[in-house]
Structure 1
Amino acid sequence: MKSFYVPRSHPQGFSVNVRCLDEGEVRVTGTKLFDGKHWEQAMTTRILDV
């Protein structure tokens, strides 16, 4: 499990796995399901949805 990484979709940023943070440190206001197996197709759909 990676605690953080540079995402291919946003190489100038980074993502943090919130499961690696202490409880109460961050408030998550919403989540979106993401198809990691079909990453390229999922990113195309996600970009169009924004």
Structure 2
Amino acid sequence: MPQFPGGSWTRGAWCRLRGGFRNFRPDRIAACTATGATFIDDPLRGLDA
């Protein structure tokens, strides 16, 4: 996970809510629950896009 100069660890991932790549701070995640949801790989949602 890359670290910004401010000292916070981040994780880049696709955000379904925003419809794009976002940086997430794991220290701000209050809860995590496996949903079993899957997705179809789409080249338009890759880092190259």
**TM-based fold match above 0.5:** no
Report the TM-score, using the length of structure 1 for normalisation: 0.27
Which structure carries more strand by proportion?
Answer: 2
Judging by fraction of residues, say which structure has more helix: 1
**TM-score normalized with structure 2 length:** 0.27
